[in-house]
Amino acid sequence: MSEENSVRDEVRQWLSENWDPDMPLVQWRNMLADSGWGVPGWPKQWYGRNLPVALVNAVQEEILNAGAVGVAQSGVRMLAAATLLEHATDFLKQKFLRRILTGEDNWCQLFSEPGSGSDLAGLTTRADLQGDNWNINGQKVWTTSAHHAQYGLLLTRTDWDVSKHQGLSYFVIEIGQVGVEVRPLRQMNGHASFNEVFMTDAVVPKDMLVGKLNQGWAVAMTTLANERRGADGLRQFSSGDAGEGSIFKELEAENKTAMEPYKWYPQRAGRADWMLERAKATGAIEDPVARQEIARALILHKSSQWMARRAREAQLLGRPQGPEGSLGKLASSNVARAAAHVHTLISGADSMLSKEDGPVNGLIAEILISVPAVSIAGGTDEIQRNIISERVLGLPKEPRTDTDRPFRDVPRNITS
Ligand SMILES: Cc1cc2nc3c(=O)[nH]c(=O)nc-3n(C[C@H](O)[C@H](O)[C@H](O)COP(=O)(O)OP(=O)(O)OC[C@H]3O[C@@H](n4cnc5c(N)ncnc54)[C@H](O)[C@@H]3O)c2cc1C
């Protein structure tokens, strides 16, 4: 019997003995964590089985086929898990990884600041050591899910006398404390996924440092690489909320809060999957201009899917990650824009009508005003192009005037 078939048999056997849709959700997910089937690609020591990606996919399929619920994987949780697995102390792994899998804790990513988005290494939120704690002061912005997060992945400046990338440190911060104020922001598409987060003498114990002091940039790169690969957002590792049994009621309630900020993400991707169907339903398929644009968008969509598949195959063969992260991120912006353009060709001026007045209950309008987010979140298109030109194609770097001196002496428009 092949290795894959024997793994599939083992999962099926385990599920038939253990899966019970009337079990409390956290209890079931703890069983998944203990068995290693919840995250079979993770190390054995940390709730996994060290399985290669191909076998991980087989396990996921078996869980889906059984209609069983998987571990909690939505939102920033998996960015937190990937970062902690690679850089954190065993103390932090012990404290957080299991609760990430059970869904007991929600996370947010406290990176961007009003003066530092693309220029993330220019951030000015400061952490100053006082006794056994770090004292945090500063402001973050665009923080998805901070309004229901228990913990944040926090990038701060701990040394102002070295160059900008050298003086950053990465911490886990508790959001619910007195010194952290979360203020929701409302977007033009009506959703409120983001927040401003103000930290005033917030406290982070020393043992919440992730990676080494002043080496937070490398840790942040792990988080961002995973974000560009798509480890955040809408991944589901279960049959969702469709089954019979009390566990699905709990899952539905969890989705209502944890998934709420991501409700519009399918629209921000442009809904290329709706183009043909809507063109046929509305008759726009007969319009030669619309047909040409649909073909162009579908070609982009297909080729970006193939590129993603090529990246997955390379991963299966154990090859190191290539340029696909940045290329894929850039491709997703192009696909989203092309698909949004097609939707306006199909629906014309009606595309601007919202809610029940607009086509697909206003979702076409939601596509148009959500698509710009794809080319900003997780690194803008221009930044991806810079990465591709400098790191992949080896073109000369842009001249810089901010890395040759201590950060304290870099001119900036925010005082600290
Ligand atoms: C949907 C969404 C979710 C997000 N979630 C989070 C989150 O959870 N946590 C978090 O910390 N942040 C989050 N962000 C913020 C995001 O990371 C930043 O918006 C992004 O990094 C861009 O930074 P900025 O908005 O400050 O734009 P800026 O950096 O001010 O950029 C403005 C413009 O200048 C261009 N530009 C800047 N520098 C260069 C350069 N060197 N070369 C060429 N062009 C350049 C940019 O491409 C852009 O067009 C989110 C954003 C979105 C849209």
- pLDDT 10s digits, 68-102: 999 998 788 999 999 999 999 999 999 999 999 99
pLDDT band at 315 (very low <50, low <70, confident <90, very high): confident
Cα 31 to ligand 1 centroid, rounded to whole Å: 39
Check if 375 has its Cβ closer than 6 Å to any atom of ligand 1.
no
| Greater pLDDT, 32 or 327 | 32
pLDDT band at 415 (very low <50, low <70, confident <90, very high): low
Check if 390 has its Cβ closer than 6 Å to any atom of ligand 1.
no
Dihedral in degrees, nearest 10, Cα atoms 381, 373, 231, 315: -30
pLDDT band at 316 (very low <50, low <70, confident <90, very high): confident
Cβ–Cβ under 8 Å, residues 138 and 152:
no
Q: Residue type at 60?
A: Q
pLDDT tens digits, 134-179: 999 999 999 999 999 999 999 999 999 999 999 999 999 999 999 9
pLDDT tens digits, 217-229: 999 999 988 887 7
Task: Specify the ligand 1 atom closest to the Cα of 119.
Answer: 29
Check if 373 has its Cβ closer than 6 Å to any atom of ligand 1.
yes
- Statement: residue 235 has pLDDT above 50: no
| Greater pLDDT, 183 or 224 | 183
Q: What is the structure's pLDDT at 414?
A: 60
Rounded to 5 degrees, φ, ψ at 188 are -70, -15
Which pTM was predicted?
Answer: 0.92
Closest by CA to 135, choosing from 106, 184, 177, 166, is 177
pLDDT band at 210 (very low <50, low <70, confident <90, very high): very high
Sequential DSSP letters for 159-226: -SSS-TTTTEEEEEEETTSTTEEEEE---TTS----EEEEEEEEEEEGGGEESSTTBHHHHHHHHHHH
Dist. CA 173–CA 170, nearest whole Å: 10
